[in-house]
C-alpha cells in the first residue's frame, strides 16, 4: 500500500544556528517535508527583517530544496513600520512566546495591549500572529492563556492567528469557537503521548508537556474529523543528547522532542493508529497551506508501508528479510 | 553502546546479472560488508577464468568499494589447466552445487570421482572447493550429502573445502570432525528460522530450508563457541517480489532469502539474541578471512544500538523521537 501526499508543510519547526543547524536543517526534507515555517528563537532572537533574511539565506545554503517561511519574534522593539517592511520582504508571521519575567509580562503571560499597534499593522498587511500559549506551570498554563486568544481575536477579527502546539481539550474548543481567522497547530508527539509517557522519561519531555488522555482524545478527534483549521506544526526541537538524557541526578534536561527526520512516516503511523490516515494529507499539507495562503506546487511525496519496504531500480525490485521488523543494531549514518 | 568490527566479509552471496545486479550489488556495502565471495550461477554459469574476470569488472564498475572474490562453477568442462589459469588470475574457489539430473549425477548428488583431476590441481595450487551440500528432498538431503564431504576430504586432505550453508546438527558435527582444511559457512537466516517459519510463509523459503529447533541449536552453539572453522556466508539471494509472494494459488515461489542490505545489523541482532554478540567479529570477519587466507586491511565498521540511533555532525548530535521503535510507514528510497 502506498500513499501520495501533496507537498507537506511543517508550520512550526526549530532549525537552530551553527553546526546544529547544518545537522538538522536537511532533516526537514529527509522527513518528507518541503516547506518549513521557521522559529525565530535564535540567540539573539530574530526581531528585524534583515536578520530574518540573513537567517533564511543561511538555511537555503544548507538545504536548497526546502521553502523556508520566516518569522519575527514579537518584542517591544517591533514597530508597525517594521511590520510593513517585513511583509514586503516576504516574511510571513510574528511569533509570541513566553519570555519569562520581563517588561510587558504579567505573571508570565504577556499583556498584549502594548502590541496592539503592531497587531493593527499586521491585520492591515495580512501577516499571521503565532501565539505560543503556555508558560510557567506546565500542567495548567494553556487554559489560562486562552482568554488572551479570545481578546486578541475579538479586537482584531481579520488578523490571522495561530495558536501553536495545542495540548488540551480546552484549547481545541477555544479555537473551534473562533472565526475562520483563527487556526491551531498540533504536534505529532502530542497525538501520541500523555502525562504518563514523560513522567520519568526525559526524552519525552517537551513544552507544552503532553496532558491527560482526555486531552489527547480531543486532539485526535479534531484531526480525525478533518477540521481545516487544525494542522501540523511539529515543534520539532533538536537538543544534544547530553541535554536530553538524565544519566545522573545532576543531569539537566532540555524541553523538546525531535521529530524532523521521521516526521511524515511518524505522522502517518500515528494518524493510522487512531483511524485518521485518510486525513493525513489535509493535516500535513492542504489545511495549513490554505490557512497560510500558500498554494501547493503540485509536487508529491510517496509513503509506503514499512513492511513492504524494498529497493527498486528500473523494473527490478527486492525486499529484504525481516522487512518491517525491528533490528536492534544499525550502522550509523555517515 | 557501539561495536567496531574489522572489515566484514560475506563468503557466499548472489550478485546476479543486469539491472538486478545494479540494484543489489551496492547493498553489500550498505549491509556493512566490504568483501564478497561471489556465486558463479549466472546464465550461463561462470565456468572459465575469462568469464569470471569479465563479471568481476562489471561488479567493480557498479560498486568500486567492495572487494569481489570470484569463483568458477564446477562442471565437466573444467580442466586442471583452467584451474592453474584461474589461480594465476586471482580466482579463489570452485563451487559445486546441484545441477539436477545431468551427466555425472547420481540421484541428484554428483559423483565426484570424475572431478578428481580437477581437485588434485586445486589442492596443488591451493584453491578452495565450495560444496553446496543439499539437493532434491529438502528436509533430509544434507545428511545424505555428508559422506561425499568426508570422502573428498580424506582423498585430498590438503584441499581446502567449505561446506556451504549448513543447516543441520549432522553437518556441524561432520565439519567439526574434519581436519583444519574443512570449514563451514552458516547463513544468518538459518540462525533465526526453523521449519515452522517457512511453512506457510514463502518469503522465509530458501534452499536449504531451515530445519528443526535442535538443528538451529547446533548452529547457534557452534557460533557461540566461536569455532574458527564456522563463519558467515549469507547466501543472500535476491528475487523479484512477484517470485517470492504467493498471492494466488498459481503464484510460484523462488527459493532464496535476501539479507545483503541489513546483513551486519541483522547478524548482530541475531547473535545477541542467543548470547553470542561477543563472537560477532570472529563470525563475520576474522574466522572466514583466516580460512581463506585473506588478511583484513585494518578498516572497521561501526555498529550502534538502534535505540541510540541519531545524527551527528562535527560536535553536534541529535536523536529523534521514537528512535528504536518501529514506524509502520516509510518514504521509499529514491
The span from the CA of A28 to the CA of B318, in Å, is: 14
* CA-based radius of gyration for chain A: 20
CA-CA-CA-CA dihedral for B79, B85, B91, B97, to nearest 10: -10
β-pair partners for A93:
A71, A128
Q: Tell me whether B8 touches chain A (CB under 8 Å).
A: no
**What is the band of A253 on the pLDDT scale with cuts at 50, 70, 90?**
confident
Architecture of A2-330 per CATH? Answer: Alpha-Beta Barrel (3.20)
Q: Of A190-194, A234-238, B136-140, B193-197, give the lowest mean pLDDT range.
A: B136-140
- B22 contacts A320? CB cut-off 8 A: no
The stretch B100-120 carries a mean pLDDT of: 66
The span from the CA of B227 to the CA of B199, in Å, is: 31
Residues 6+ apart with CB under 8 A from B192: B210, B270
Q: Give me chain A's average pLDDT, please.
A: 89
Grid coordinates representing A25 are 536543517
The 10s digit of each residue's pLDDT in A51-106 is 999 999 999 999 999 999 999 999 888 999 999 999 999 999 999 986 643 334 44
β-pair partners for A236:
A13
Residue ranges of domains in chain B: 2-330
Q: How many C-beta neighbours within 10 Å does residue B140 have?
A: 13
β-pair partners for A67:
A35
The stretch B255-265 carries a mean pLDDT of: 93
- A296 versus B220: the higher-pLDDT residue is B220
The span from the CA of A251 to the CA of A48, in Å, is: 35
- B319 contacts A244? CB cut-off 8 A: yes
Q: Is the pTM of this model over 0.90?
A: no
Q: Tell me whether A322 touches chain B (CB under 8 Å).
A: yes
The 10s digit of each residue's pLDDT in B118-151 is 999 999 999 999 998 765 445 556 777 888 899 9
A189, A304, A320: residue with CB nearest B259 = A320
Grid coordinates representing A320 are 529484504
Active site residue A165: yes
- B327 contacts A306? CB cut-off 8 A: yes
pLDDT of res. A139: 55
Beta strands A2-6 and A300-305, pairing class: antiparallel
Grid coordinates representing A11 are 508550520
Q: Assess contact for A181 and A160: CB atoms under 8 A.
A: yes
Whether omega for the bond prior to residue A69 falls within 30 degrees of 0, making it cis, is no
Nearest Cα residue to B98 out of B179, B208, B198: B208
Question: Residues B273, B275, B281, CA angle at the centre, nearest 5°?
Answer: 95
pLDDT of res. A103: 37
Instruction: Tally A–B CB contacts below 8 A.
Output: 189
What does the H/E/C string look like for B229-259? CEEECCCECCCCHHHHCCCCCCCCCCCCCCC
Residues 6+ apart with CB under 8 A from B189: A321, B204, B206, B210, B235, B257, B259
Q: How many C-beta neighbours within 10 Å does residue A18 have?
A: 12
Nearest Cα residue to A160 out of A183, A177, A178, A134: A183
The span from the CA of A76 to the CA of B161, in Å, is: 81
The stretch A138-149 carries a mean pLDDT of: 74
Please identify among residues 208-267 of chain A the ones whose CB lies closer than 8 Å to any CB of chain B: 238-241, 244, 257-262, 264-266
pLDDT of res. A102: 37
| For chain B, percent of residues with pLDDT exceeding 90 | 67
Active site residue A95: yes
- Cell numbers 574443512 correspond to B182
- B265 contacts A302? CB cut-off 8 A: no
- B260 contacts A329? CB cut-off 8 A: no
Q: Of A257-261, B167-171, B240-244, give the lowest mean pLDDT range.
A: B240-244
Whether omega for the bond prior to residue B300 falls within 30 degrees of 0, making it cis, is no
The 10s digit of each residue's pLDDT in A6-54 is 999 999 999 999 999 999 999 999 999 999 999 999 999 999 999 999 9
Q: Provide the b/e sequence for B55-91 (b: ≥16 CB within 10 Å).
A: bbebbeebbeebebbbbbbbbeebeeebbbebbeeeb
Q: CA dist B125 to B119, B149, B228, B271, Å?
A: 10, 20, 23, 36
Amino acid at each position: 500500500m502506498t500513499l501520495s501526499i501533496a507537498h507537506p508543510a511543517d508550520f512550526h519547526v526549530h532549525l537552530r544556528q551553527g553546526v546544529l543547524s547544518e545537522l538538522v536543517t536537511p532533516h526537514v526534507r529527509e522527513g518528507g517535508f518541503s516547506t518549513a515555517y521557521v522559529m525565530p528563537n535564535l540567540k539573539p532572537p530574530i526581531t528585524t527583517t534583515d536578520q530574518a533574511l540573513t537567517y533564511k539565506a543561511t538555511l537555503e545554503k544548507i538545504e536548497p530544496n526546502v521553502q523556508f517561511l520566516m518569522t519575527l519574534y514579537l518584542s517591544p522593539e517591533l514597530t508597525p513600520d517594521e511590520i510593513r517592511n517585513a511583509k514586503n520582504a516576504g516574511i510571513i508571521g510574528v511569533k509570541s512566546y513566553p519570555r519569562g519575567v520581563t517588561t510587558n509580562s504579567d505573571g508570565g503571560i504577556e499583556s498584549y495591549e502594548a502590541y496592539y499597534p503592531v497587531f493593527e499593522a499586521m491585520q492591515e498587511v495580512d501577516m499571521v500572529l503565532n501565539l505560543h500559549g503556555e508558560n510557567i506551570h506546565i500542567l495548567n498554563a494553556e487554559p489560562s492563556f486562552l482568554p488572551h486568544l479570545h481578546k486578541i481575536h475579538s479586537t482584531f477579527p481579520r488578523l490571522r492567528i495561530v495558536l501553536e502546539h495545542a495540548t488540551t481539550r480546552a484549547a481545541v474548543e477555544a479555537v473551534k469557537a473562533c472565526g475562520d481567522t483563527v487556526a491551531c497547530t498540533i504536534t505529532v508527539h502530542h497525538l501520541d503521548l500523555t502525562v504518563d509517557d514523560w513522567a520519568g522519561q526525559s526524552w519525552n519531555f517537551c513544552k507544552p508537556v503532553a496532558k491527560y488522555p482526555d486531552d489527547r482524545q480531543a486532539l485526535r478527534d479534531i484531526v480525525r474529523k478533518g477540521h481545516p483549521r487544525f494542522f501540523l506544526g511539529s515543534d520539532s526541537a533538536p537538543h544534544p543528547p547530553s541535554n536530553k538524557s538524565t544519566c545522573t541526578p545532576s543531569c539537566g534536561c532540555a524541553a523538546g522532542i525531535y521529530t524532523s527526520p521521521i516526521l511524515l512516516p511518524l505522522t502517518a503511523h500515528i494518524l493510522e493508529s487512531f483511524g485518521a490516515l485518510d486525513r493525513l494529507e489535509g493535516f500535513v499539507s492542504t489545511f495549513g497551506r490554505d490557512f497560510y495562503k500558500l498554494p501547493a506546487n503540485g509536487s508529491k511525496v510517496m509513503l509506503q508501508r514499512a513492511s513492504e519496504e524494498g529497493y527498486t531500480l528500473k523494473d527490478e525490485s527486492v525486499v529484504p528479510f525481516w522487512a518491517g521488523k525491528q533490528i536492534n543494531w544499525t550502522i550509523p549514518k555517515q
